[in-house]
Amino acid sequence: MLASTPLYAPLKAVLVPLDQVPDPVFAQQTMGPGIALEPLESQLFAPCDGEIVHLARTHHALTLKTDQGCDLLIHLGLDTVDLEGEGITVHVAPGDRVHRGDLLWEFDADLLACRALSLITPLVVTSNDRWRCELMDAPVGRVIERGAELMMLVATSQASPTGKEGGGNNEYREQVTLALAAGLHARPAARLRAIARAHGCTLVLERGEHQADAASLTALMGLSLRHGDTLDVIARGADAAAALGEAAALLTTPEAVEDDPAHDESADDRADTVPTGDDTTCHGLMASPGLAVGPLIRFGRSRIEINADREEDAEATERALVQAINTLNDTLATDIEQARHQGRREEADILEAHQAWLDDPALREESLAYIRAGRSAAFAWREVLESRINELRRSQSQLLAARADDLRDLQERLVALLVPEAAALGHIEIAPGAIVMFEEITPSQLLALDRVSPAGLCLAGGGTTSHVALLARARGLPCLAAMGAELVEVMDRQDGSDVILDADRGSLIFKPAPDQLIEARESVEQNRIRAAAEQQMAHESARTIDDVPIEVCANVAGQEEARAAFDAGADGIGLMRSEFLFMAHAQAPDQQTQRRSYQQALDAMGAHRVIIRTLDVGADKQLDYLSLPSVPNPALGTRGVRLMARHQALLDVQLRALLEVRPLDRLRIMVPMVCDAAELVAVRERIEALAGEMNLDGRPELGAMIEVPAAAVCADQIARVADFLSIGTNDLTQYTLAMDREDPDLAGRADVLHPAVLRLIDLTVKGAASHRCPVGVCGAAAGDPQGWAALVALGVDELSVEPARVAAVKAGIRRLDRAALARALRGWLDEPIDSVTLRQRLEQWLNETTANNNDRGAPDDAI
């Protein structure tokens, strides 16, 4: 039988429905369901037996855990936090055991009424994923006497009758400063939920007077947490300490952000300052770069009328909703698995965030409440998500506002399962090569566009940080967003004629002159011809004008990307990020799973060699199932080779899997975050021991990543014990300059072309050369428009880039006189020079020499 407990009025008061409370956090039930009371006396008593588990520093709010394990927030007045406890006398402390009728507070009602927003006092069930409220027959809007029955708390099937999640009632709390540059958005929120589930614990985030349970993404997003905010993380349950450590590490670790100028939240902040168009042009934000010409087609999606009232009884309607949710959840799970398998990790991450939204108990419970009130399942789901969509769009955070598209996606996909007519409206029929206008587009709609091959996208809404923008960039699809009323006006009068979408310049020319169309089509055709010519030579080796061979390899995450790299002409895999295999699993992949993944990558590359980096998590990448210590500077903490020393068993499984790959002479193992030769020697000794146990004759080559200044300074020593070195320019740049790439104020200055970084790369190359140890580069600089040339001039032997960049980088190398650029670069580095000036000189030098060497490859702007 499900646990339940009655709550009794804690004071004489007027009953106020929670949705009428003049505070949206309570009125929209962001923190949970409940009731509110407008006090008619100045003492407040315990509404039930339980334990005080939290008391706000300013004494205006407390959390009472009932004996059955339900968390009840009692919030004395609204905006009373600003009073700093003035006029409030508290009679309890955290840890106190209280009984129904014990005095909790005394307060100066006149002072609070005059200086706070309101005396209205909400009672809210914050553990609403495990409990529901059933109001008694007390008359809302009427006076209720102290001690009268107020509501019943009833456990759902998930509730623990003892209140001890996971077999324990431990509670741990830690204050953290949010390090996520984009704030707490959907994907890290989904990971918090996964951490809580993995440990069988309750995780709660608390900021000021507001709390959110990690079980509810809507509640977490409702906190609107931004970078730099200070908050408390609370974990309850038998494994609460481990859960707290992982949650704190997630929140205090900066996220990895792609080196992509379009991925910039500040760009969204400039949406209101985008220049207005003339009679022929409208403007927007570059969500994905590129140039396109084609007919302008409007995609209009009508919202089907849905019967508001249910036609069946509540139980049957509830079953229909739950079945639709389960069906969509299964579809998402299949799509996620397929995306992971094919190496489309951005798509998989987005779909996982959708799955977490879908599993939000708050959305489900609110929808069921609508059904119980007589509404249809489709109407209930649409209404509940519509309120959340509007809430997100009102957010001051542009990234949170961009997540409204994800909720719209879930709203429409589930309605389509419940109402067949809605599914028909969602079918996209567009001619290939069109530039498609959307007032709004969901991620699943963009994925559906793949089969019709549009030339570009124009969006009235959205932004550069939306999941749609991310997917467009991954597909190389030119896209403008946040075009606003201008685009809507164009939609109203468009006739399907050809337009020019120049995403790089943020413009849509919808009435181009004939000469503009001719010029744009020529540019598009030149780009196509150039790309085709580069691709024709992509499988040929790349040599500079002075006959220096440079390998151009690819960075990949798995088998599908390896196949794409081979097709693109890559000379090998310069970096296979094994951490993505680990991140795709709920627990560490076993030896056979790893071996299969590594073998598939080698098989995909034919006779070319493959470098696989051992597990590199910590700092910007976390695993839900691997507990890492929470430290103030995680980028300087346990990661890379240090992680391997701490988790030797995990490393052994990976090394055994790698040693089972055939042939071993095409495999190279690369160790991340090495600081000195001793660390690499320790790994080599472990490989020798394991290979001996496995009776192996051969050994794979072993190399070290040069990512920290210490490794660059000691490169000559590391090269003595390494078969190769690979420079990770992203980390090397930020560690050398002490500039966090995730800091929006510093990211633009964290340039690999800073003289200090180039000097360390030069030191690395010279140190390795003394031992005939080859040096590659697998960081973003390898594909940088000017950086790649500087790296070649400094003497690196290999560049590893994204598969789509292989052909263009090879074309640039064939045009480069390495010795000539090396002489020029040495002269520049002898001067007092900054990265901006150095980049300008490199660009000018490359442009001037390109004019004389076009016959050897594609124009340099291909890079």
* Assigned fold of 314-425: Enzyme I; Chain A, domain 2 (1.10.274)
pLDDT level of residue 696 (50, 70, 90 thresholds): very high
Q: pLDDT of 5-21, one tens digit each?
A: 889 999 998 888 887 77
Predicted confidence (pLDDT) per residue in 288-313, tens digit: 778 999 988 877 555 566 778 888 88
Q: Please, are residues 551 and 810 in contact by the beta-carbon 8 Å criterion?
A: no
- CATH 3.30.1340.10 residue ranges for the chain: 164-256
Which residues make Cβ contacts (< 8 Å) with residue 46, sequence separation at least 6? 10, 64, 98, 99, 100, 101, 102, 103, 104
User: What digits encode the pLDDT tens for the residues 192-246?
Assistant: 887 888 888 889 999 887 888 888 766 786 677 888 889 999 998 888 888 888 8
Q: If you search the block for the tokens 């300008």, which residue do you land on?
A: 840
| Domain 265-301+429-512, second-level architecture | 3-Layer(bba) Sandwich (3.50)
Contact 570/552 with Cβ under 8 angstroms? Answer: yes
**Greatest pairwise CA separation for the chain in angstroms:** 93
Q: Is 341 one of the annotated active-site residues of the chain?
A: no
Cα 256 from Cα 181, distance rounded (Å): 9
Where are the domain boundaries for CATH 2.70.70.10 in the chain?
Answer: 1-162
What type of residue sits at position 478? P
**Residues above pLDDT 90, as percent of the chain:** 29
Residues 6+ apart with CB under 8 A from 821: 789, 790, 792, 793, 845
Joined together, the tokens standing for residue 262 give 């379009």
Distance of CA 641 to the CA centre of its chain: 25
Question: How far out from the chain centre does Cα 545 lie?
Answer: 42
Q: Confirm if 101 and 147 have CB atoms less than 8 A apart.
A: yes
Count H helices, E strands: the chain? 31, 35
Q: What angle, 0 to 180 degrees and rounded to 10, lies between the N-to-C axes of helices 787-794 and 755-769?
A: 40
315 φ, ψ (degrees, to nearest 5): -65, -45
- Asked if 348 and 584 touch (Cβ cutoff 8 Å), the reply is yes
Residue 396: C-alpha distances to residues 183, 185, 402, 824 (Å): 11, 13, 11, 48
Residue limits of CATH 3.50.30.10 in the chain: 265-301+429-512
Query: Is 283 an annotated catalytic residue?
Result: no
Nearest alpha-carbon partner for 235 in 214, 210, 209? 214
The H or E element that residue 347 is part of is helix 345-358
Tokens 């000017």, residue located: 786
Catalytic residue among 467, 608, 647, 754: 467
CA distance 481 to 284: 5
**Cβ atoms 700, 641 nearer than 8 A:** no
Q: Which residues pair with 726 in a beta bridge?
A: 705, 776
Of 694, 691, 729, the residue nearest 712 (C-alpha): 729
Cβ contact 357:363 at 8 Å: yes
d(CA 742, CA 745): 9
Residue 394, pLDDT > 90, answer no
Instruction: Delimit the CATH 3.20.20.60 region(s) of the chain.
Output: 533-862
* Third-level CATH fold of 164-256: Histidine-containing Protein; Chain: A; (3.30.1340)
> In angstroms, rounded to a whole number, what is the distance separating the alpha carbons of residues 362 and 324?
17
> Of 48-57, 494-503, 628-637, which range is least confident?
628-637
The packing angle between helices 591-604 and 648-659, to 10°, is 40
- CATH fold of 533-862: TIM Barrel (3.20.20)
Helix (H, G, I), strand (E, B) or coil at 739: coil
Determine the pLDDT at residue 632. 57
* Average pLDDT of the residues of the chain: 80
Instruction: Assess whether pLDDT exceeds 90 at residue 668.
Output: yes
- Find the catalytic residue in 458, 675, 714, 778: 778
**Rounded to whole angstroms, how far apart are CA atoms 237 and 245?**
13
Question: What is the Cα–Cα distance from 200 to 165, expressed in whole angstroms?
Answer: 6
Q: Is the pLDDT of residue 613 over 80?
A: yes
**What type of residue sits at position 356?**
A
Question: In the predicted model, what is the mean pLDDT of residues 773-786?
Answer: 86
Domain 1-162 has CATH 2.102.10.10: no
Residues sharing a CB contact under 8 Å with residue 695, sequence separation 6 or more, in sequence order: none
